[in-house]
Amino acid sequence: MAIEVMLMDNVKKLGKSGEIVKVAPGYARNYLFTHGLAAVATEAAKRRLKKLEAERAARAAEEKKAALEVARKLEKLELTVSAATTDGKKLYGSVSVTDLLAASEAQRGVKIERGQFSLEDSLREVGEYEATIDLGHGVNVKVKITILDEQAPEA
């Protein structure tokens, strides 16, 4: 005996927000209803869902606008990091994401979260690299990274 519920949010392996699905009464009562993921499929629930979707869309638009603003600040960002080397080429360790985050905050004054930074490979040698910063909502920024030997005289 299944009951019909309307999903208020995306539920993995069940459906997307707004869909009406049939589930076991215990699953609905003990999990979906208590976590606010679903409601009994009534007209009032449908109106509530439309209101929630409008709020989500407005919030997503604001977040995308903020991400685009940050992307403009980070446009053509080139990070330069000095690190100790063994032979002028290989680094003692590696340049970590934490080092890059500190450099970006010092150079542009923009705080970036650790999970937004994406490196293709580890930075273990002096040279130029490229990284991607994912600001969310499909906004990505390419960053050029230059690693210098901290012992070498700068030109």
Per residue in 81-113, pLDDT tens? Answer: 888 888 888 888 888 888 888 888 887 777 788
What is the arithmetic mean of pLDDT over 127-132? 90
Residue 30: half-sphere exposure toward Cβ, Cα within 13 Å: 4
Question: Which tokens belong to 116?
Answer: 């937004």
Whole-number pLDDT of residue 50: 87
Question: Which tokens belong to 26?
Answer: 């215990």
> Is residue 117 very low, low, confident or very high in pLDDT (cuts 50, 70, 90)?
confident
According to DSSP, residue 115 is labeled G
Question: Which tokens belong to 74?
Answer: 């980070």
CA–CA gap between residue 146 and residue 77 (Å, rounded):
11
> Is residue 74 very low, low, confident or very high in pLDDT (cuts 50, 70, 90)?
confident
CA–CA gap between residue 98 and residue 115 (Å, rounded):
11
Q: What is the 3-state secondary structure (H, E, C) of 114-134?
A: HHHEEECCCEEECEEEEEEEE
Put simply, whether the predicted model's pTM sits higher than 0.95 gets the answer: no
Bridge partners of 119? 131
Whether the per-residue pLDDT at 155 is higher than 60: the answer is: no
Q: Is the Cβ–Cβ distance between 134 and 118 less than 8 Å?
A: yes
CA–CA gap between residue 3 and residue 24 (Å, rounded):
6
Per residue in 14-61, pLDDT (tens digit) is 999 889 999 999 999 999 999 999 999 888 888 888 898 899 899 999
Domains of the chain: 3-66 (3.40.5.10), 72-149 (3.10.430.100)
CA–CA gap between residue 130 and residue 146 (Å, rounded):
9
What is the arithmetic mean of pLDDT over 118-146? 88
Whole-number pLDDT of residue 153: 58
CA–CA gap between residue 2 and residue 38 (Å, rounded):
14
Whole-number pLDDT of residue 31: 96
Please measure the distance between the N-terminal and C-terminal CA atoms of the chain and give it in whole angstroms.
78
Question: Which tokens belong to 149?
Answer: 């030997």
